[in-house]
């Protein structure tokens, strides 16, 4: 006999963070981006079927009617598609917002997964990405799709919004320090700033970033950590020229280089957010993380690029 579906059922959805090693912003214009999953930080959503919808989260707690419009619209669309009268969502996260780590894509992914789970509906990756795209389009206007993909999958990838993705195979042995500048950057503003820059000055700077990504792909295949570090710094300079860095982020990049990093740059949308710094060995990486934590740049992580 088939087990009957319990009447009171909870749906659960997860998503993790992401780091863009190189290619943010250029990816919006059709260039490749290299991205790594940040598997140690998550958004979790629990969904319950109710007659009138509520959201419980650190950002907003209350009835759906009063939620920020982008969240309300998204959830109403999901409810409609799944034929749900109402849903009670509890969203918890250790992924900081406005940090360039994919929090908005992760929130959308975890809500979508929880609602589909609640309705016992399978959620193929393509559908999950479609829903994240809906959310991200209203949050930041022109998403390339890299955040949705990377917060939903587990391997480092090269992402291209036209050609799709390729899993990265690399012999590289290195450590990435990631820390929050405590300046909260808006991806929407950053993407709009770059669009204005391109309108005024053309594509040269964006294409330059795209070239760095192609070289970085080669260095990853060859295991050339020193070359990769140099490119990260050059990419940071190009992003600064596009107007999406921040003085605090630039100071952290300088500090990282002084601490022996092979390269350092902003990651994600910019205008604040996180800085990433590349090291050959774990000890120096941990030392910088400690220094940054003492200075209040937190949260932070050390990511082993070889073992994830």
Quick check: 146 binds ligand MEV (CB under 6 A)? yes
Beta-carbon contacts of residue 173 (< 8 Å; ≥ 6 apart) = 223, 225, 280, 305, 306
Minimum CB distance to ligand MEV, residue 92 (Å):
22
Residue 67 or 183: the one with the smaller Cβ distance to ligand MEV is 183
Quick check: 41 binds ligand MEV (CB under 6 A)? no
Report which secondary-structure segment, H or E, holds 157. strand 157-160
Using DSSP's 3-state secondary structure scheme, residue 93 falls into strand
From the list 21-29, 54-62, 123-131, 216-224, the region that binds ligand MEV by CB under 6 A is 21-29
Q: Which of 174, 210, 269, 272 binds ligand MEV (CB under 6 A)?
A: 269
Instruction: Report which of 295, 290, 242 is spatially closest to residue 269, judged by C-alpha positions.
Output: 242
Residue 117 or 136: the one with the smaller Cβ distance to ligand MEV is 136
Residues 114-143 touching ligand MEV, rule: CB under 6 A, are: 143
From the list 19-27, 42-50, 89-97, 297-305, the region that binds ligand MEV by CB under 6 A is 19-27
Minimum CB distance to ligand MEV, residue 142 (Å):
7
The DSSP 8-state label assigned to residue 3 in this structure reads P
Q: What is the CA radius of gyration of the chain?
A: 20
Quick check: 96 binds ligand MEV (CB under 6 A)? no
Quick check: 32 binds ligand MEV (CB under 6 A)? no
Beta bridge partners of 55: 62, 89
Q: Cβ distance 246 to 270 under 8 Å?
A: yes
Residue 174 or 269: the one with the smaller Cβ distance to ligand MEV is 269
Q: At what angle do helices 204-222 and 225-242 cross, to 10 degrees?
A: 160
Quick check: 191 binds ligand MEV (CB under 6 A)? yes
State how far the alpha carbon of 52 is from the alpha carbons of 9, 85, 164, 282, in Å: 16, 7, 39, 50
Q: 208-247 mask for ligand MEV (x: CB under 6 A)?
A: ----------------------------------------
Report which secondary-structure segment, H or E, holds 49. strand 33-49
Binding site for ligand MEV (CB under 6 A): 20, 24-25, 27-28, 100, 102, 143-144, 146-147, 187, 190-191, 268-269
């Amino acid at each position: 006999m088939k087990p009957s579906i319990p009447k009171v059922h909870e749906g659960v959805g997860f998503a993790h963070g992401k780091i863009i090693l190189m290619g943010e912003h250029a990816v919006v214009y059709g260039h490749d981006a290299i991205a790594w999953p940040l598997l140690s930080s998550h958004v979790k959503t629990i969904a319950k079927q109710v007659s009138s919808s509520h959201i419980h989260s650190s950002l907003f707690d209350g009835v759906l009617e009063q939620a920020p419009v982008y969240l309300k619209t998204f959830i109403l669309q999901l409810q409609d598609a799944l034929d749900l009268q109402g849903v009670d969502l509890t969203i918890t996260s250790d992924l900081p917002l406005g940090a360039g780590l994919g929090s908005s894509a992760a929130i959308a992914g975890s809500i979508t997964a929880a609602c589909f789970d609640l309705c016992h509906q399978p959620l193929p990756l393509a559908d999950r990405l479609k829903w994240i795209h809906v959310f991200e389009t209203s949050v930041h206007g022109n998403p390339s799709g890299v955040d949705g993909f990377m917060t939903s999958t587990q391997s480092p990838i090269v992402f291209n919004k036209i050609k799709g993705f390729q899993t990265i195979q690399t012999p590289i042995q290195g450590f990435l320090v990631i820390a929050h500048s405590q300046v909260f950057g808006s991806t929407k503003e950053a993407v709009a700033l770059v669009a204005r820059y391109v309108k005024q000055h053309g594509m040269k700077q964006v294409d330059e970033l795209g070239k760095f990504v192609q070289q970085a792909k080669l260095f990853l295949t060859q295991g050339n950590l020193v070359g990769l570090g140099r490119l990260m710094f050059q990419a940071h300079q190009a992003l600064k020229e596009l107007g999406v860095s921040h003085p605090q982020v630039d100071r952290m990049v300088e500090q990282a280089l002084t601490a022996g990093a092979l390269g350092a740059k902003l990651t994600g949308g910019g205008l604040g957010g996180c800085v990433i710094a590349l090291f050959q060995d774990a000890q120096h990486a941990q030392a910088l993380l400690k220094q940054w934590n003492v200075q209040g740049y937190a949260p932070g992580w050390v990511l082993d690029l070889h073992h994830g």
